[in-house]
Amino acid sequence: MRTQKTFIVLLLVIALAVPLFSTSAQEDLSGKTISVFAGWTDETEVARVEDGFAIFEEQTGADVQYTGSSDFTTLFQTRVQAGDVPDVACFPQPGLMAQYVDEALDLNSIMDEAYLQGQYAQAWLDMATINGKLIGLWHRVTVKSLVWYSPSAFATYGYEIPETWDELIALSDQMVADGFTPWYAPIESGGATGWVGSDWIEDILLRTTSLENYDAWTVPQYKGLERLPFTSPEVKRAFELMGQIMLNEDYMFGGTEAILGVSFFDSGVPLLQDPPDALLVKQGSAMPQWLDPNPTVGPDGDLMYFYFPPIDEEYGRPVLVAGDVCAIFNDRPEVREFAKFLATAQVLEPWVKAGGALSPHTDVDLDWYPAVDRGVAEILANATSFRFDGGDLQPGPVGSGSFWVGIVDYISGDDLDTVLTEIDAAWPEE
Amino acid sequence: MSTQTQPVRQKSPGDWLTSGPLRFLVSIGVPVIAFLFLRWSFVLLRDQEANRILVAFIALTIGVFGVWILYLLTYYLTEQLPERLGERVRPFVFVGPAMVILFIFLLYPIGHTFYLSLMNADSEEFIGLKNYRTIFTDEQMLITLRNNGLWLISVPLFSVSFGLIVAVLVDRIGRWESTAKAFIFLPMAISAVGAGVVWKFMYFVRAEGEIQIGFLNAIITKIGGSPTNFLETIPLNNLALIIIMTWMVTGYCMVVISAGIKNVSTEVLEAARMDGANELQVFFRIIVPIIRPTLITVGTTVLIWVLKVFDIVYVMTNGRRDTQVVANQMYTELFRGGSVGLGSALAILLLVAVSPFIVSNVRELRRRRA
Amino acid sequence: MFQSQGAVQSRLRKILTASPVRIAVLALCLVWSIPTLGMLISSFRVTQEINRTGWWTVFSPRDNTEYRSLVDRVERSKTFAERTQDQFVAAQAALEAGPSEEAVSTAVAEAEAALSEAVSDAETDLAEAQAALDANEDGAQARVDEAEAALDAAQTALAAGVNADEIRAQLLDALREDVQSTEERATNAQTMLETDRKALAETDEPKNFPIGSEGWRRQWTLDNYEKVVNADRMGDAFLNSLLITIPSVVIPITIAAFAAYAFAWLSFPAKDLLFALVIVAMGVPGHLALVPILRLYLRVDLGGTYMGVWLAHTGFGLPLAIYLIYGYMITIPREIMESAHIDGASAMTAFTRLILPLSIPVIAAFAIFQFLWVWNDLLIALVFLGTEAENAVLTARLSELIGSKGQDWEVLTAGAFITMLVPLIIFFALQRFFVRGLTAGSVKG
């Protein structure tokens, strides 16, 4: 009884005083902890990422603490503004990383320039250089320039893989003549609806204009170029070429209703129907993972892909990529070591082996890839050039704002010139 | 349950302490000792990772009872003050802590935001009122303001009316009242992301001829219409979003109004009915006037929420196809790599839009006092 | 939930004969719950079915996917066979008509153009080789010889001209090939159609499953809930959520009740101004406050503590709490306060003994909402408590399960329903405070 009373008194005393005073967070004295913050939250994804970090932990004994949040963008901005920056942050879009160019460390100042050039192809380093400051280490990448099809359907109905744009259109026409609606391109993605269409524009643009123009369209401010506006004939042509497929009621299964109304996660569904409702879907290398149950991918599997064919010969076989990029925010010896580790393919080894990730590192072993991913990796390796997803590079109000809105407007039947002017209007003034 | 109307004069807990310096010492000493002890014990508790449940328990006790003890302690201290002074200080014991918290958590950030609203996109250059000018001249912004007007009129109107009707009706159905209320209340318990999923099952559209898995389109095609994309069709999409907001907020209106109706005494109602008033008259002449302050309260809060709402729009359309609202625009500018200056200006605009409600509420406060 | 036919009918009759008020309430409740019902039902459905058919069809399910697929196949094969047949017929007609003169002349012109281009190409090559020779490059002589020979050949070919008959023959060959390939496709399509028809003929169309039958039960599943409940650290997350929510509800209510009492019944300087500030504070979007508060927390070492989260929720919930409770307190009849005053009760006594108990309904109402908001909050917990796994609240765990892009509807539906359960329990628990007669009793007394 007595102890109970004492306990109550004790509680009361505590209750009385705690609200007055804050309690301090634990002082970190070990100095060997590296905090990594990113947007990976899916349990399998997180496991792959952490497996990669574990290799570093084993090598050095340091503790890499990964935390992820689906609200990464908001949280990271809040933390940076409040002055609570993690050691390393990995961004889903390089355009997002570019906002923190002042806070991020110059990688050339913390590791050898030659080392970095040995680990990444120059194009990757260029894409992570903001205002002449190299801040990004590329992590997992995916390839967007793929068209998915059902090998069995192609065999049944006697179709062949097109090698050029004209062949692609001829194939589509043949399919229409055979009574099919060849294409399927649902783009619904809640607040982000439209990004699928922006991938189309980027892929087409890479095939119809020079890389310099593409850079001028996406990141003129970092390359010292004059901006190529959406209203330029080049971009307009890309929209029209997309429209040639997207706005063609004979081509598009479900018409505009399905494009705007169906979730992009269901992109692959009609390919897998028996009989197939549609035969061609342009989507990135991640598409099969959205389907439940996961389809088998391969020449004899449920699904297979081919390279989205070139359009104008002189621009070769470019590839559109997307991926995550990590920046370093605190300069400590252990963080430097970790940054060096991030620049090696090892960090991705578990993920690459498990499938679903491509490594941008030069020291990646092609044998790590499962057969399916190896094909995609080869497409990337054989590309005459590659560029990053433009919407991810452009300033937020355009790249993840007016561009997407413009796609929806164009597909809804709005006048193209008006749509393009409206997209341009959101470009931030200097 | 009825409350005692003749409160017993409470014995001051400090009576046993005669007076003067001892009393003063105790007032100061107790908190200091408590603080030292607490500091030590809390740090200790934080160190022991295994004792999570114990930490939780103590933390809960502190959180729940600590505040009460704080108030009683301060009030006790004011009672030790000279009568005159105590009388003056006492109301601030009641209202003071709230104002301090409000100031730190909400009012100070406004000042910061106002400062940012006068700066450019990355807060590095002073540009005066340019952001405000942009708001009222940009064509897209005008659509946004129009939408906000639409929301401001329709959501409070619908939700307060429905809430009132339901609250009055369920008040009369006896033992099923809680259950009926729960159905209306349910949408409030859903997060914005959840609401997005829920309404997907309503608004979902597939091409003509396909099986519609969206409820509304299934009905439409059943009666021979052609499927409609509610979220991309102008101006239907605004209505579609407003319906979601109304659906969620009505539960709030109903619960608060219902609490207010419980305050209308049965005697008054009985008396009116005895006098031959019909139910409509009872409703408009008795119930509505009595719960008028509650209705104003509910209306004001819904209006303010409507001004602040962004997650529904963010999840469903993110403002495309002319559905943008100020709060979502603000969120986009602030957190999605837009212009911090413009975002801040929009936030200030929202606060200015609240001011008419301030005036009407303060007037109500004065009217009551008179 | 699912009663037998007879019970439903008798229940329905009972409801219809009840008062119109009940019917109205029932109708409103029904309309309000349709969206939620869709989610609830979907949370018990098999994943593939969610995307295939509307949730309302579960009441009369029919497992006809296979059959429908067969029907579709026949339909598709029929179209395909017809179309390929058409193409075959067209190809035959084209072959019979032979290549038109126009086609031949176009082809001839094209061939001639190709020949002259070959000549000019060869000339360019020769010129380049000559230049190399002038520059004394190794092996240049051989190149010149080669180029000269090529030019000769090209010029001979151009001089010989294009033979229209040869071109015609080539075109005819192409047409013949066309006929062959279209015929092959048409035959294949015909075979396919016959196979599909046969398969369809051998299958019976399935009927609706009666409620409770094996097939009916196959439509339902608890997998979605298992996925959510069995996920790692769900128990911890639940505990964290409770730990954050309870004080975050009680603290603002207490502080607000004191303040509302002062606003409603005490007089003090600057009351109007302070009250106006409360309303202004209601209009402050929470997002604006995150950065300044976090900065403050870091300075006073409050980051990552429960205390910090409680205080933040208190701050965000406080204006509405004051406003709501105040709005209710002023409807308490003045006579009650006056009688207390006459009795000589102190302000504190009047508050704790009289006003607070009388305000229980509105406090209960606010408690429900504050509970909801804190419970459903994701951002504040993430910002102030940190994103570490062991600190995750229920909503955070759930949003991780769903994945960063929002796929997996089935997990989302089940998860949303689980998170709704606790607030719903709170709602029902607090319902008993919504009772009439609190003030009535006091007035009489």
Domains of chain A: 33-142+321-375 (3.40.190.10), 146-319+390-425 (3.40.190.10)
pLDDT at A161: 92
Residue % of chain C over a pLDDT of 90: 1
Upper half-sphere CA count for residue C8 (Cβ side, 13 Å): 5
Please tell me whether residues B113 and B142 are part of one structural domain.
no
Q: Is residue B206 part of a domain?
A: yes
State mean pLDDT over C413-426: 81
Q: Name the closest residue on chain C to residue A273, using Cα atoms.
A: C69
Q: Name the closest residue on chain C to residue B180, using Cα atoms.
A: C29
Q: Is residue B233 part of a domain?
A: yes
> How does DSSP assign A379-403, residue by residue?
HHHH-SEEEE-HHHHS-HHIIIIIH
Residues C313-366 have pLDDT tens digits of 988 889 989 988 888 888 777 777 777 777 777 777 778 888 888 888 888 888
pLDDT at A320: 92
Q: Name the closest residue on chain C to residue B290, using Cα atoms.
A: C331
pLDDT at A242: 93
**CA C256 to CA A75: how far, in whole Å?**
29
pLDDT at B130: 81
Residues A236-292 have pLDDT tens digits of 999 999 999 999 989 999 888 888 888 888 888 888 888 888 999 999 888 887 787
pLDDT higher than threshold 90 for residue A233: yes
Please tell me whether residues B210 and B277 are part of one structural domain.
yes
- Cross-sheet strand order for the sheet of A281-282: A281-282, A146-149, A304-307
Confidence of residue A421 (pLDDT cuts 50, 70, 90): very high
Q: Cis peptide leading into B235, omega within 30 of 0?
A: yes
Residues B215-255 have pLDDT tens digits of 888 888 888 888 888 887 878 888 988 999 899 889 888 88
User: Are B66 and A19 a contacting pair at CB < 8 A?
Assistant: yes
pLDDT higher than threshold 60 for residue C437: no
State mean pLDDT over A60-80: 82
Weakest-pLDDT range from A240-254, B126-140, B142-156: B126-140
**CA A10 to CA C144: how far, in whole Å?**
105
Chains with at least 3 CB pairs less than 8 angstroms from chain C? A, B
Query: Which element (helix H / strand E) includes A318?
Result: strand A318-328
Nearest to B294 among C331, C413, C424 (CB): C331
pLDDT at B192: 73
Please tell me whether residues B113 and B26 are part of one structural domain.
yes
pLDDT at C63: 64
Q: Which residue has the higher pLDDT, B40 or B77?
A: B77
Residue % of chain B over a pLDDT of 70: 82
pLDDT higher than threshold 70 for residue B329: yes
Q: How close does chain A come to C195, measured CA to CA in Å?
A: 13
Give the residue from A28, A36, A79 with the most C CB atoms within 10 Å of its CB, the best one to mutate: A79
Residues C254-306 have pLDDT tens digits of 889 989 988 888 888 888 888 888 888 887 887 788 888 888 887 777 777 77
Please tell me whether residues B98 and B149 are part of one structural domain.
no
User: Are C25 and B170 a contacting pair at CB < 8 A?
Assistant: yes
Query: Which element (helix H / strand E) includes A36?
Result: strand A33-38
Cβ(C393)–Cβ(A71) below 8 Å: no
Burial (Cβ within 10 Å: 0-12, 13-18, ≥19) of residue A300: exposed
Average pLDDT, chain C: 79
pLDDT at C328: 81
Residue % of chain C over a pLDDT of 70: 85
Question: Residue B119 pairs with which residues in a beta bridge?
Answer: B126
pLDDT higher than threshold 80 for residue A7: no
User: Are C292 and B266 a contacting pair at CB < 8 A?
Assistant: no
Tell which CATH architecture fits domain C228-444: Orthogonal Bundle (1.10)
B365 close contact with C: CB closer than 8 A: yes
Q: Which residue has the higher pLDDT, B1 or B143?
A: B143
Please tell me whether residues B258 and B353 are part of one structural domain.
yes
Residues B288-305 have pLDDT tens digits of 888 887 888 888 888 888
Q: Is residue B68 part of a domain?
A: yes
Count CB-CB contacts under 10 A for residue B174. 8
A24 close contact with C: CB closer than 8 A: yes
pLDDT higher than threshold 50 for residue C417: yes
Domain interval for residue B71? 20-117
pLDDT at A17: 42
Domain holding B175: CATH number?
1.10.3720.10
pLDDT at A149: 94
Question: For strand A136-143 and strand A318-328, is the pairing parallel, antiparallel, or unpaired?
Answer: antiparallel
Name the B residues in 79-138 with CB < 8 Å from any C CB.
79, 90-95, 97-99, 101-102, 104-110, 112-113
pLDDT higher than threshold 90 for residue A183: yes
Residues of B in contact with C318 (CB under 8 A): 98, 101-102, 105
Residues A110-162 have pLDDT tens digits of 888 888 888 888 888 888 888 888 899 999 888 999 999 999 999 888 899 99
Please tell me whether residues B106 and B196 are part of one structural domain.
no
Confidence of residue B38 (pLDDT cuts 50, 70, 90): low
Nearest to C76 among A68, A275, A290 (CB): A275
User: Are A81 and C188 a contacting pair at CB < 8 A?
Assistant: no
Burial (Cβ within 10 Å: 0-12, 13-18, ≥19) of residue A31: exposed
Confidence of residue B47 (pLDDT cuts 50, 70, 90): very low
Confidence of residue B16 (pLDDT cuts 50, 70, 90): very low
Residues A80-102 have pLDDT tens digits of 888 888 899 998 888 888 888 88
**CA B14 to CA B33: how far, in whole Å?**
19
**Distance of alpha carbon C148 from the chain centroid:** 69
pLDDT higher than threshold 90 for residue A73: no
Average pLDDT, chain A: 84
pLDDT at A205: 93
pLDDT at A19: 40
> Which structure tokens are listed for A319?
């590839």
Give the residue from C46, C76, C180, C401 with the most A CB atoms within 10 Å of its CB, the best one to mutate: C76
pLDDT higher than threshold 80 for residue C18: no
Q: Which residue has the higher pLDDT, A28 or C197?
A: C197
Cβ(A161)–Cβ(A306) below 8 Å: yes
Confidence of residue A328 (pLDDT cuts 50, 70, 90): very high
Give the residue from B39, B202, B228, B229 with the most A CB atoms within 10 Å of its CB, the best one to mutate: B229
pLDDT at A262: 83
Confidence of residue B22 (pLDDT cuts 50, 70, 90): low
State mean pLDDT over B30-54: 55
Confidence of residue C210 (pLDDT cuts 50, 70, 90): low
Chains with at least 3 CB pairs less than 8 angstroms from chain B? A, C
pLDDT higher than threshold 50 for residue C162: yes
Number of domains in chain B: 2
How far CA B203 is from CA of A99, C40, C122, in Å, comes to 36, 16, 66
Name the B residues in 12-71 with CB < 8 Å from any C CB.
52-53, 56, 59-60, 62-64, 67-68, 71
User: Are B337 and A192 a contacting pair at CB < 8 A?
Assistant: no
Residues of B in contact with A12 (CB under 8 A): 65, 69
pLDDT higher than threshold 80 for residue B9: no
Category of A324 on φ-ψ map: left (φ > 0), alpha (ψ -120 to 50) or beta: beta
pLDDT at C99: 80
Residue % of chain B over a pLDDT of 90: 3
The residues, ordered by sequence, that sit 6+ positions from B179 with a Cβ below 8 Å of its Cβ are none
A274 close contact with C: CB closer than 8 A: yes
Nearest to A83 among C298, C305, C307 (CB): C298
**CA C315 to CA C281: how far, in whole Å?**
9
State mean pLDDT over B128-154: 85
pLDDT higher than threshold 50 for residue B46: no
Confidence of residue C441 (pLDDT cuts 50, 70, 90): very low
Residues of A in contact with B46 (CB under 8 A): 23, 26
Confidence of residue B98 (pLDDT cuts 50, 70, 90): confident
Nearest to B320 among A16, A193, A255 (CB): A193
Q: Is residue B122 part of a domain?
A: no
User: Are C258 and B334 a contacting pair at CB < 8 A?
Assistant: no
State mean pLDDT over C55-65: 71
State mean pLDDT over C188-197: 88
Q: Is residue B87 part of a domain?
A: yes
Q: Is residue B10 part of a domain?
A: no
Nearest to C302 among A22, A43, A82 (CB): A22
Q: Name the closest residue on chain C to residue B112, using Cα atoms.
A: C292
pLDDT at A18: 40
Residues of A in contact with B69 (CB under 8 A): 12, 15-16
State mean pLDDT over C23-33: 85
Residue % of chain A over a pLDDT of 70: 93
The ranges of chain C annotated as CATH 1.10.3720.10 are 228-444
Confidence of residue B313 (pLDDT cuts 50, 70, 90): confident
Count CB-CB contacts under 10 A for residue C127. 11
